[in-house]
């Protein structure tokens, strides 16, 4: 959390399959713990590839996680499992509904309602990342 503004930030790790996204998340979690920060990790209920309460990378790294429902507004149950942690990580965000965007913005101290693009259904999993605005609020197009 920023000392002056009392707000946090949102970091998104993206990439194609087998590109090391979860390994990067685990690396950041290890760094946070080394820095003495408290950590909470969450995983969607539909992802049990590495065990019901564990996130894992193909390289073998593992971390204990709290399982939260991924459908609709059930993702707000994530708040019930927080106890003042400084770092909150969500693995496999693509399995969550658009409500995950609102959850992340609230955790970062930005109180805005969840948004979605016109034509997208907020109750359909996998839309959350596409609905989230990039930092600065503009979505650029690379050619």
Return the active site residues. 92
Which residue, 44, 15, 39, is CA-closest to 28?
39
Which residue, 51, 53, 45, is CA-closest to 70?
45
Which alpha helices (DSSP H) does the chain contain, by range? 21-34, 99-107, 128-131
Specify whether the CB–CB gap between 92 and 117 falls below 8 A: no
């Amino acid at each position: 959390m920023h000392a002056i503004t009392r707000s946090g930030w949102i970091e998104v790790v993206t990439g194609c399959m087998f590109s090391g996204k979860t390994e990067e998340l685990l690396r950041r979690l290890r760094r946070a713990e080394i820095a003495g920060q408290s950590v909470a990790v969450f995983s969607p209920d539909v992802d049990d590839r590495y065990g019901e309460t564990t996130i894992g990378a193909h390289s073998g790294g593992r971390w204990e996680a709290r399982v939260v429902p991924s459908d609709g507004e059930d993702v707000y149950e994530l708040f019930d499992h927080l106890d003042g942690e400084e770092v909150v990580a969500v693995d496999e965000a693509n399995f969550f509904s658009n409500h995950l965007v609102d959850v992340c913005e609230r955790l970062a101290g930005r109180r805005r309602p969840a948004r979605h693009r016109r034509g997208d259904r907020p109750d359909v999993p996998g839309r959350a990342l596409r609905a989230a605005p990039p930092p600065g609020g503009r979505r650029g197009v690379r050619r």
